[in-house]
Structure 1
Amino acid sequence: MATLKGMTWSHPRGYDPMVAVSAAWEAQTGHRISWDKRSLQDFETYPVEDLARNYDLIVIDHPHVGQITAEACLLPLPDVPEITAESVGASADSYVWQGHRWAYPIDAAAQVQAIRPDLLPQPLTKWAEVVSLAEEGRVMLPLRAPHALMCFYYMAANAGHPCRNDGKGTFVDPAAGRAALERLAAVAQHVDSACYEMDPIAVLEEMSQGSRIACAPLIYGYISYGLPGFRPNKATFHDVPSTQLDGDLAGSGLGGTGIAVSAFSNAPEAAIAFAAYVAGPAVQRGIYADAGGQAGHRAAWTDERVDDAASGFYSGTLATLDSAFVRPRHDGYMAFQNPASDRISQALKDGAYDAALDDLQKLFDATFVD
């Protein structure tokens, strides 16, 4: 029997379900998996190739696929229709690059809206409502890199001018980019300056510990914060407020994770079998969700039992997930996210939007190597 090593990310949502599912898999197959975890910041930036040389199974996010394809450090996975045809939004397709599938989706996420239901009786539906609440000092935004960029992606895409994600060229239409920065700044100017050093977990921690903050309108959803007893004050999660009069939700930045298999694994067949097991509908709506996982399979998102246990997280955000924006994935893109986000944050502070857009274009152009 094989003994495998896996690497995931350090949060109950990322770690606990992998341990629970691995225990069930070991009972069925005899194959054992030990899991290590790395910080959220490392998860977004650490080289996948380095991990692949030390682990059989790796939890990744989709913007890495161009890089890992060039490095040949992961094994292409077979298509499993019950997984790939039934994921949430573009989760499954986001791991396909150059004709191969590099991961199965196990966790689906996008920027959604978090509220404290004891402070805000209903989620906001329009960006103008967000601005008004921000003026009262009751809104937070996670703006630590890369999250200012994620907010910008939404502002542009929701207005019908998504940033380029299909290769070289104009990163964003200049007029649309300026309008996106202006809409984002209308809220950012009223949030605590600490937000520029906060990721989604930090904002949700602040909201759930007795703060008067009632709403985080663009934040990657974390199901844990909606579970009873997880923190002193519960958050609930809902579709994002639209910037458009027609209420269009399109454009939230797709996140989530997939399970990938190292090209250097000594037990690739067992690793691939586990990847399909943890991503399958029965496990996703069963062991995975019950252990605090934020499922990636539609079978879990549409299961009333799973949704009720998560305080309506799934039904409350599914429309946002299904219309989410897939970030660029080409080899070189990962070096863009953090400096681009920092440049956007600077523009939100100094109002020099045109200069920022010029710099974003230069940063984007530099990610392509002929």
Structure 2
Amino acid sequence: MTIALRGITWDHERGRDSVVAASAAYAAERDVEITWEARSLQAFADQGLEALTERFDLLVIDHPHIPHAAHAGLLAAVPDGEGPAAFVGRSYESYRWEGAQYGLAIDAASQVAAYRSDLLPTPPRTWEAVLELAKEGVVLWPSKPIDAFASTFTLTSGLQGADGGRSGFGEPAAFAQAWDLLGQLRDLVPPECAAQNPIQVADTLAAADRWAYAPLLYGYSNYAREGFREHLVRWTDIPEIDGEPRGSMLGGAGLAVSARSAHLEEATAFATWVATGDVQRGVYATGGGQPGHVHAWEDEALNALTHDFFTGTRRTLELASLRPQHPDFMAVQDAACERVHRGLAAREAAAPVLADLDEMFATLGVADAGR
């Protein structure tokens, strides 16, 4: 008898086509069929999991949801599998809570940089060079609220040399420098960037010869594949701080299993299978995915397929920052996104913005003990 599972993912080729391709390969050898639905990128970041875990067996989710979902009993713990060393950077640990694994890092991402190599053969490596290039009118920066917050978190973490959001938001000197850099960037990119996300900016880069570079946006290896869009977009490390591309806010997506699934064993078996190295660098990646497994990031054929996406951005992934892990984090992030976006739009000084962010993040206390 064929087992029917339902999955929910996010509506982009990277999030949708990858799991559909993997599910087809899985079903060809087992009596398990998986039907996938997709939600928007914003819903992927914002939507609560209570209703979704009632309807779906498998969920592709954003890792900051893990502490709340695990604490509320919405997700089933999954086998530890190959452990953290098998996944790039801190991807594996981002789905861990109170000593158990509640998601497997089938997709890895952080803020990286994108460029058109036909227009800009050598992308800038420092923030000083980024701002000089932006003065030429060829730079984009997605800075809708969640992305403006991500960039602020990235730069603050990189400049202070430690994850932001612990015991407040960040060190005053590091935040002030980050805020100044982002303020200069805001004034040098088109105003419409304030309402755009990384997908929209990547599409713009790929569509015409007007724009050449974006310094901070979540990476999408799809755009580095021949024929995906009109023009090829290449990806590289974020601008360096003290010689390192450090601090980038970790993103990515994990595959989780609903604790309410009527087919818990079968759903867990599929999630574990998708996270293995051979599947990650095979059908999952060729289906359009952006794997989290180290074997995929070190696969020469996959790197060639994506014009060096994996070798070009791995250092950034390895040095990425991790948001606080806490059941109440999403509410704090929502408020912080609004505050950062409003502060940038109003050209506020750093101090009052940091004071508000510090107050928000202080409510989380010492959050990372749950890891």
TM-score using structure 1 length:
0.95
Who is 1:261 aligned against?
257
Aligned partners of 1:84 and 1:104 also within 8 Å: no
Return closer, same or farther for 1:346/1:165 CA change in 2, 3 Å cut-off.
Answer: closer
**Partners in 1 of 2:76 and 2:118 — Cα distance?**
47
| Displacement after TM superposition at 1:201 (Å) | 0.5
Q: 1:265 aligns to what SS in structure 2? A: coil
1:361 aligns with 2:362: no
Offset, 1:366 = 4.7
Alpha-carbon distance in structure 2 between the residues aligned to 1:59 and 1:136: 40
Residues 104-159 of structure 1: CA deviation (Å, up to 9, x unaligned): 11000001110011110112211111000111111111111211111011111211
| Structure 1 runs not aligned, ≥5 long | none
Paired amino acid for 1:339: A
> Which whole-Å deviations, capped at 9, do the CAs of 1:252-302 have from their partners, x for residues lacking one?
011101100000000101000000111100100110111111111010110
Q: 1:342 aligns with which of 332, 338, 343?
A: 338
1:173-188 residue pairs with structure 2 within 5 A?
173-188=171-186
After superposition, residues 188-267 of structure 1 pair within 5 angstroms as 188-242=186-240, 244=241, 246-267=242-263
TM-fit CA distance, 1:36: 0.4
1:1-370 alignment runs, 5 A limit:
1-81=2-82, 84-165=84-165, 169-242=167-240, 244=241, 246-349=242-345, 350-366=347-363
Report if aligned partners of 2:157, 2:170 keep a CA contact under 8 Å in 1: no
Distance 2:342 2:176 in 1: 14
Shift of 1:308: 0.4
Q: SS in structure 2 opposite 1:121?
A: coil
Question: Is the contact made by 2:144 and 2:195 (CA closer than 8 Å) also made in structure 1?
Answer: yes
| 8 Å contact from structure 2 (residues 17, 287) kept in 1 | yes
Q: Aligned partner of 2:247: which letter?
A: G
Q: CA deviation at 1:346?
A: 2.7
Q: Secondary structure at the match of 1:159?
A: helix
CA contact (8 A) 2:131 2:185 kept: yes
Identify the range of structure 1 (143-152 vs 175-184) with the bigger mean alpha-carbon deviation: 175-184
Q: How many residues are aligned here? A: 365
Q: Does the 8 A contact of 2:168 with 2:359 survive in 1? A: no
User: One-letter code of the match for 1:37?
Assistant: A
The amino acid that maps onto 1:95 is: Y
Q: Percent identity?
A: 40
State how far apart, in whole Å, the 2-side matches of 1:129 and 1:192 are: 18
Which runs of no fewer than 5 residues in structure 2 stay unpaired?
none
Describe the shift of the 1:367–1:335 C-alpha distance in structure 2 as closer, same or farther (beyond 3 A): farther
What CA deviation, in whole Å up to 9, does each residue of 1:191-241 have, x standing for no partner? 111111000001111111104111111110011111111111110001111
Rounded to whole Å, the distance in 2 between the matches of 1:339 and 1:121 is: 39
Q: TM-score, normalised by structure 2?
A: 0.95
| Preserved CA contact (<8 Å) 2:56 2:261 | yes
For 1:309 and 1:93, how far apart are their aligned partners in 2? 28
Shift of 1:362: 2.6
Q: Which stretch of structure 1 is more off in the superposition, 266-275 or 329-338?
A: 329-338
Q: 2:163, 2:321 within 8 Å by CA — same for their partners in 1?
A: no
Indicate the larger mover: 186-195 or 101-110: 186-195
Shift, 1:347, TM fit: 2.5
Conserved? CA contact 1:4–1:32, under 8 Å: yes
CA distance in 1, matches of 2:85, 2:289: 20
The amino acid that maps onto 1:241 is P
SS in 2 for 1:314: helix
Asked whether the 8 Å contact 2:18–2:289 carries over to 1, the reply is yes
Shift of 1:163: 4.7
Shift of 1:342: 2.6
Decide whether the 8 Å contact of 2:141 with 2:215 is kept in 1. Answer: yes
